Structure formats: C-alpha cells, structure tokens
Amino acid sequence: MRRFDRPEDRPVLLALRALKLGDLLVAVPALHGLRRAFGGHELVLAVSGWLEQIVELVDGIDALLPTPGLDEPLPVPPGAVDVAANLHGNGPESRALIDALRPRRRIAHRSPGNPDGPEWVDGMHERVRWARLVTAHGAPADPDDVRIRVPSREPHVEGAAVVHVGAFYGARQWPVERFAAVARALRGDGARVVVTGGASDRARAEALAERAGIPGADVRAGRSDLADLAALIAHAGVVVSADTGAAHLASAYGTPSVVIFGPAPASEWGPPPGPHLVLTDEARRRGDVFADDPDPALLAITSEDVIRAARAVQR
C-alpha cells in the first residue's frame, strides 16, 4: 500500500476516517461508492496507520495517509487535494482538517461552511449515514456493500469457531466465564475453538482458555496481526464477539456471527442482512461506551443465549 506523501499523475480524492477497525469497515460502502464515481482520481484514505493491513483489502483504495486522530493538521499542502470527503463526522475538528486542505470540492454534511451537504441525522445507522452522504454528492452507494477481499495468507485454522474476547473499553467486555462456557459448548459440538483479541486482551484470553480447556496454540490474542485475524474470520465457521472490529470483519466476509451488544445500539452499529444474530437487552442499555464496567444490556445476555444463537447460525 502506497503511503501518500504527494500527488502523482492523477487528481486526488482524500477520504478522512481517522478511527478504529469497526469504524473503517462501516465506511466501506461509502468508499466503494466514491471509487466508482471518481474512477480517474487517486483515492487516498486518511485513517489510523495501524489499520494498513485492512485498508489493503478494501477495493479501490490507492494510498494510505496515516492519521492517528484529529489533533494535528493533515500533512498535505493546501490545494493538493481535488476532492475531500469527510467520512469522520461533522464536528468542528474534522471540518477544520478538511477546510485546511482547500479542496476544489467537499463531500460533507451540511454545516455553516458547507450549505450544500445533507443534514446530519442523529440515530442513523453508520453504514447508512456514510452511504447516504456520498450518494447525496453524486456517488451512489449501497449501505450493505460491506465486502472486502480475503487476505492471501492461510488461516490459522480452517472452519474454526472464533471466540473474540477483545473490547477496547470495559463497557463492551462480556464476562470471561460466559465466553468460556460458550467455548466449552462449541468444543463439545466438535468445533475447534480459536480465541482472539489484542495484546491487551491476552490475560482474558488465557483465562478463557484455561476454563474451557483450549490449547495454548489456539489462543491467538496478542499473537496475530490484523491480516491473520481477517483470514481466520473469513474462513471461520462462526464468530462470537461483542460489538467490536471482529464482528464487523465477520460481516465483511459473510461469516456467521453472534454479536453481543451493550452500550452501542444495534440499530446504529448492527450487522447487515446475513447469517448474523444480535443479542442485547435494549431496555437495560446504559449507553456509556467509555465506562469501565460492562453495560447492563450486555450483561443481560447469558452464555446459554449465545450458545443457542451460535448453533443456529454456524456453518
């Protein structure tokens, strides 16, 4: 993947989405729409650099501009970008970064400096939000067009039952002992269970494995990169996860999944149509995505609920 430092021989379309894995994947339909509508442009994605291995799997992205957040201006000279798309949000910080580029054309929601965009609507599904935005600007997009390419590398296990314990904030951390009960049940059904997560999830993953009798070789939390995770999920029989990037990878590959929702509403972040089941209790949802303790909507889901759902969708 080319790291963008200057325009080449084509006009540049820069799309800003400086967030995490799930945020990138829900913007894929909009990126596909932009690619089709601006076939003569170099499509540059300004996103966190650690997502490079997934950016490489999104059809039509020509270059990556590593962007860890909105605190610093983008390292692009004013006027070097022909079209700038704000797929990040509609706050003053993201608007300022786009404005500083001085593009010929902006693709953004309506604001005092951009009266031609569609109105921002609270509570809209994220895939729909960004597909709607680019469609309004002449780049038709299907919000369910979430597909990305499968990595060329072989998966750790073909047909695994992937149990993903990772969650960036405590509000989305379903209890380890419940994950372990799910893993034991799936192993009892004959599945090979692989436990995934990030480096910070390693202790939770090892605790799960000890409770469920999973060998250390199949505890991949903190030992696999994003391309490994994508390959594993693309070839999995089922994925069990909280509302995290792993769940969005399952959506991108049409892999059967069970997604346990807590602080974020499934109506805004849930999977597209397919072999995916969402489990939550909206009546109990507290909605604090940055809380240190699990959201009550997530804790309302039992291991038995997840086991039944996994058995219903797995291939």
Give pLDDT, residue 168. 86
Instruction: Encode burial over 256-272: b for 16+ CB neighbours within 10 A, e otherwise.
Output: bbbbbbbbbbbebbbbb
% of the chain exceeding 90 in pLDDT: 96
Mean pLDDT across 161-185: 96
pLDDT for 57 beyond 90: yes
% of the chain exceeding 70 in pLDDT: 100
Domains of the chain: 2-136 (3.40.50.2000), 161-313 (3.40.50.2000)
Mean pLDDT across 25-30: 98
Q: Quickly state the pLDDT bin for 7 (edges 50, 70, 90).
A: confident
In terms of phi and psi (left: phi > 0; alpha: psi -120 to 50; beta: otherwise), the region of 12 is: beta
pLDDT for 6 beyond 90: no
Give pLDDT, residue 244. 96
pLDDT for 72 beyond 90: yes
Mean pLDDT across 279-303: 97
What six digits make up the tokens of 16?
């800003």
Give pLDDT, residue 181. 98
Give pLDDT, residue 8. 84
| pLDDT per position as a tens digit, 193-228 | 999 999 999 999 999 999 999 999 999 999 999 999
Give pLDDT, residue 62. 97
Give pLDDT, residue 2. 93
CA dist., res. 253 & res. 227, Å (int): 13
| pLDDT per position as a tens digit, 234-277 | 999 999 999 999 999 999 999 999 999 999 999 999 999 999 99
Give pLDDT, residue 144. 98
In terms of phi and psi (left: phi > 0; alpha: psi -120 to 50; beta: otherwise), the region of 273 is: beta
Task: Return the amino acid letter for 273.
Answer: P
Contact 24, 8 (CB under 8 A): no
Contact 119, 101 (CB under 8 A): no
Contact 7, 80 (CB under 8 A): yes
Contact 244, 167 (CB under 8 A): yes
Give pLDDT, residue 286. 96
Q: What is the mean pLDDT of the chain?
A: 97
Q: How far is CA 72 from CA 17, 20, 84, 239, in A?
A: 14, 17, 17, 37
Compute how many other C-beta atoms are within 10 angstroms of the C-beta atom of residue 55.
Answer: 21
The position carrying tokens 């699990």 is 294
The position carrying tokens 């300004």 is 46
The H or E element that residue 296 is part of is: helix 296-299
User: Closest Cα to residue 48, out of 220, 226, 223?
Assistant: 226
Full-model pTM: 0.97
User: Closest Cα to residue 38, out of 20, 19, 61, 54?
Assistant: 61
| pLDDT per position as a tens digit, 79-135 | 999 999 999 999 999 999 999 999 999 999 999 888 889 999 999 999 999 999 999
Q: Provide the terminal-to-terminal Cα distance of the chain, rounded to the nearest Å.
A: 33
